[in-house]
Amino acid sequence: MSSGSDYVRPLAELAVQLGANVQPGQVVLVVSEPGKEPLARAVAEAAYERGAKFVDMYVFDIYFKRARVLHAAPDTLDYVPPWLGAQVLALGEHRAASIALSGPVAPHLMDDLDPALVGKDMLPWLKQIPEVVEARTTNWTGIPCPTDDWAALVHPGLEPGEALARLWRKVAHMCRVDEPDAVAAWRSRLDQLVEVAGKLDALALDALRYYGPGTDLTVGLFPSSRWQTVRFSTVGGIEHVANIPTEEVFTTPDPERVNGVARATKPLFTSGAVVSGLQVRFEDGRAVAIDAEQGAATLQTLAAHDAGAARLGEVALVDRASRIGAMDTVFFDTLIDENAASHIALGHGYANAVDDDDRERMNTSGIHIDFMIGSNELAVTGLTRDGGEIPLLLAGAWQLERAI
Question: pTM of this prediction?
Answer: 0.90
The more confident residue out of 41 and 359 is: 41
State the average pLDDT over residues 84-101.
Answer: 97
Listed by start position, the domains of the chain span: 5-183, 194-229+244-403
State the average pLDDT over residues 85-107.
Answer: 95
Q: Where are the alpha helices (DSSP H) in 72-181?
A: 82-93, 115-120, 128-135, 148-154, 160-174
**pLDDT tens, residue by residue, 56-92:** 999 999 999 999 999 999 999 999 999 999 999 999 9
Q: In what order do the strands lie in the sheet with 139-144?
A: 54-59, 27-32, 97-102, 139-144
DSSP bridge pairs for 238: none
The CATH code for residues 5-183 is 3.40.1830.10
What pLDDT is recorded for position 3?
Answer: 62
Angle at 403 between CA 312 and CA 379, to 5 degrees: 50
**pLDDT tens, residue by residue, 275-303:** 899 999 999 999 999 999 988 988 998 89
- Is residue 291 classed as helix, strand or coil in its secondary structure? strand
What pLDDT is recorded for position 1?
Answer: 40
DSSP bridge pairs for 216: 211, 261
State the average pLDDT over residues 40-49.
Answer: 98
Cβ neighbours, 10 Å, residue 384: 13
State the average pLDDT over residues 306-331.
Answer: 92
